Each structure stands twice: as structure tokens, then as C-alpha cells.
């Protein structure tokens, strides 16, 4: 029996684990992947700018630091376990996974982002055969794009960020998107233009032309509603069309949980759901003041843990202790200080 089970090992889940450790709660993280870090793994080399007090750092660096912090109080881990349902019997939550494991807890924090996600594939016949060569749905390493002609399809923040990151490295970057205008941050769009990224507005990929060898894309056929067909020579193609969401966890759970658009938990700004003892943090949580930033996920996590603590112990303080005065953190800081001194 745990005090809290956290479903999801991304930024919201890891900070929930850290904060619940501060509040001396027996904690378990259940993560569907065999590793922690969540959706940040989709962009390990992209620079992350929106964490307060932290200078820009790569997605991989952020993952490493989130894991280090999240493991401070040694929560139990169940990796590679996909949660199928959440039940509540006699005031106790039972969390069931796809390997027929049952985990029991007094409270639950759902921190699965928008659910388990898979990139939306390019809907062109035969496109899948190029996934082993030069058709990509994530960008695990920038190095392979150095000096290449790169075409990115998508108008999302991720597509814009990838274009800006690759522009100084690639020979040429083309950004293809269906709408008349991009919806990214103004500074990011301005940077696209400054860096000479070639924009193909109101355009979409209609076909892929293979090289004579047949194993790589050599040209991409674009269609514009007024300008017609255009062929673009490429070395690498990146597709950023968003993600398909898996809502099976919420669909299969027999608890009476209020939802928004099927995929999100309808909650409060304090991370409470319609089920007493069940809370949400990160993108899965929806309320009128929701902020879809990593920084927002951290606040959700702290609120969820504080409510979970008071749910278990109504006499507990509404907020956690000052973190810098925690004994375990003091020991951790002393070890870091000794390391720095030894490195001088």
C-alpha cells in the first residue's frame, strides 16, 4: 500500500515524486515506457527555454536533471507497465496494468500528459518504407542533418523549433504548412525569416519520389491551391503533424471521472478531479487557468501532492516544508559542494 501512486514518469510525474518525498509520502511511479522522462524524449536535442531559473538546456539535459531530482527520495518504480484502469474500492485505489499487476494506494496522481502518444504518420501510400532511411517523425540527433537539404512538414511549435535549430546546420531548410500563417511564438517566426528558412504556406505533401536506388526520398511533391504542383529536392524529410492520443486509461476506468474532449481530466486550478483522492498534473489536467508549459506542470504537481497529503491526513499542513531545509536535500547539497571543491 502506497500513499500515492503517480501514473506517468514525465516532468509532471517526476516533480510529483520529488514533492511527495518532501511531504514524507510513500510513493510509486508507474510508467508505460521502460525509461523516465516522458514526451521530452521526442526532442532530446531541442533547447528548452521555459523553465524558470534554468538557463536554456537541451531536452536530454532536462530529462537527466528531472530524473535526478525526482529520485531524491527514492520512490518505488514500475517501468514498462501500461496502466489499463483505475478503480476505487472501499476507499482504496487499485491501479491495474497490462501485465496483470495490481498496485494499491490511498491516492493517485495522473500525470500522463495527453495520454500515451504516437506521432501521426504521413498518409501517403508507401511512405513507411522510407522510415528506415530519411523519413523522420522525431529528431533524436541534429548531427545527421548537417549540410543536408531538409524539408519539415508541419505548422506546430515543434516544427518551427526544429526548423530554427537546423537552419544554422543544414544546407537548406524548407518548412511546409497548410495554413496561411504560422501559429508559433512571434520571436520564433521572426527567427525563421532571419535564418533564411524557405516557407511554403498553404502547401501539403502529395507524393514522395524515390532515388534510383529506391530506398531513399529524393524529391517531395508539394501542392498549393493556387500555384499548383512543385517538386523540392531533399536529403532528409521530417514530419511534425502532431500525435495520436491513447485515451484508453480514462475510457476503461470504472470511476466516475469528469472529462473534457475525452482525452483530458476536468479539474480545478488546485489539481483536484471529480473523484476524491484522485488528482491530475500536467497536460492531462484541464481547467480555466491551465498553463501548458513545463513550468505549469510543476505547479500542478505541487498542488496535487499537497491535496493528496491532506486527503490522507486532514491535520497536515496545506503546503510542504521549505525544501532547502530538508535533511536529505542538505546531505545532497553537501555532497555536491564536496564534488565542486574536489574538481577545483
Let me know if 303 is exposed, middle or buried by CB neighbors in 10 A (0-12, 13-18, 19+): buried
Alpha carbon 115 to chain centroid, angstroms: 10
Distance CA(95)–CA(307), nearest Å, equals 19
283 is in an annotated binding site: yes
* Strand 57-58 with 47-48, pairing: antiparallel
Note the residue count of the chain: 344
Question: Residue ranges of the alpha helices (H) in 141-286?
Answer: 157-166, 186-194, 248-252
- C-alpha distances out from residue 222 to 48, 104, 149, Å: 31, 53, 15
Q: Which three cell numbers stand for residue 274?
A: 471529480
SS3 content of the chain, % helix, strand, coil (to 5): 30, 30, 40
Distance CA(344)–CA(337), nearest Å, equals 11
Laid out side by side, the sheet with 217-224 consists of: 204-210, 217-224, 228-233
Please, how many CA atoms are within 13 Å of residue 284, restricted to the half-sphere of its CB? 34
189 is in an annotated binding site: no
31 is in an annotated binding site: yes
Distance CA(67)–CA(158), nearest Å, equals 23
104 is in an annotated binding site: no
Q: Which three cell numbers stand for residue 137?
A: 517523425
The Cβ of residue 3 has, within 10 Å, a number of other Cβ atoms equal to: 20
Let me know if 317 is exposed, middle or buried by CB neighbors in 10 A (0-12, 13-18, 19+): exposed
Q: Are 22 and 99 in contact (CB under 8 A)?
A: no
Q: For CA atoms 261, 100, 3, 20, give the dihedral sign.
A: negative
Alpha carbon 47 to chain centroid, angstroms: 14
Pick out the residues of the known binding site: 31, 39, 43, 83, 117, 283, 324
Pick out the residues of the known binding site for FAD: 31, 39, 43, 83, 117, 283, 324
Amino acid at each position: 500500500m502506497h500513499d500515492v501512486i503517480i501514473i506517468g514518469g514525465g516532468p509532471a510525474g517526476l516533480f510529483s515524486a520529488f514533492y511527495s518525498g518532501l511531504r514524507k509520502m510513500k510513493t510509486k511511479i508507474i510508467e508505460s515506457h521502460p525509461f523516465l522522462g516522458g514526451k521530452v524524449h521526442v526532442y532530446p536535442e531541442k533547447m528548452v527555454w521555459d523553465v524558470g531559473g534554468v538557463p536554456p538546456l537541451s531536452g536530454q539535459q532536462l530529462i537527466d536533471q528531472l530524473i535526478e531530482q525526482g529520485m531524491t527520495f527514492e520512490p518505488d518504480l514500475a517501468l514498462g507497465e501500461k496502466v489499463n484502469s483505475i478503480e476505487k474500492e472501499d476507499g482504496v485505489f487499485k491501479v491495474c496494468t497490462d501485465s496483470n499487476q495490481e498496485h494499491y494506494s490511498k491516492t493517485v496522481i495522473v500525470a500522463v500528459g495527453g495520454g500515451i502518444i504516437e506521432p501521426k504518420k504521413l498518409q501517403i501510400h508507401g511512405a513507411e518504407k522510407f522510415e528506415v532511411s530519411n523519413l523522420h517523425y522525431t529528431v533524436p540527433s541534429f548531427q545527421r542533418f548537417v549540410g543536408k537539404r531538409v524539408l519539415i512538414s508541419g505548422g506546430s511549435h515543434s516544427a518551427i523549433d526544429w526548423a530554427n535549430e537546423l537552419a544554422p546546420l543544414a544546407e537548406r531548410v524548407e518548412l511546409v504548412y497548410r495554413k496561411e500563417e504560422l501559429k508559433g511564438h512571434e520571436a520564433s517566426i521572426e527567427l525563421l525569416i532571419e535564418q533564411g528558412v524557405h516557407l511554403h504556406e498553404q502547401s501539403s505533401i502529395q507524393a514522395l519520389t524515390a532515388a534510383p536506388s529506391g530506398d531513399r526520398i529524393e524529391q517531395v511533391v508539394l501542392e498549393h491551391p493556387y500555384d499548383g504542383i512543385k517538386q523540392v529536392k531533399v536529403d532528409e524529410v521530417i514530419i511534425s503533424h502532431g500525435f495520436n492520443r491513447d485515451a484508453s486509461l480514462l475510457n476503461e476506468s470504472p470511476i466516475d471521472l469528469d472529462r473534457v474532449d475525452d482525452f483530458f481530466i476536468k479539474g480545478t486550478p488546485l489539481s483536484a478531479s471529480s473523484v476524491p483522492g484522485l488528482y491530475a498534473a500536467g497536460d492531462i489536467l484541464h481547467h480555466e487557468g491551465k498553463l501548458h508549459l513545463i513550468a505549469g506542470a510543476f505547479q500542478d504537481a505541487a498542488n496535487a501532492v499537497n491535496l493528496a497529503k491532506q486527503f490522507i491526513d486532514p491535520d497536515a499542513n496545506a503546503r510542504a516544508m521549505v525544501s532547502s531545509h530538508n535533511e536529505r536535500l542538505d546531505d545532497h547539497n553537501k555532497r555536491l559542494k564536496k564534488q565542486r571543491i574536489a574538481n577545483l
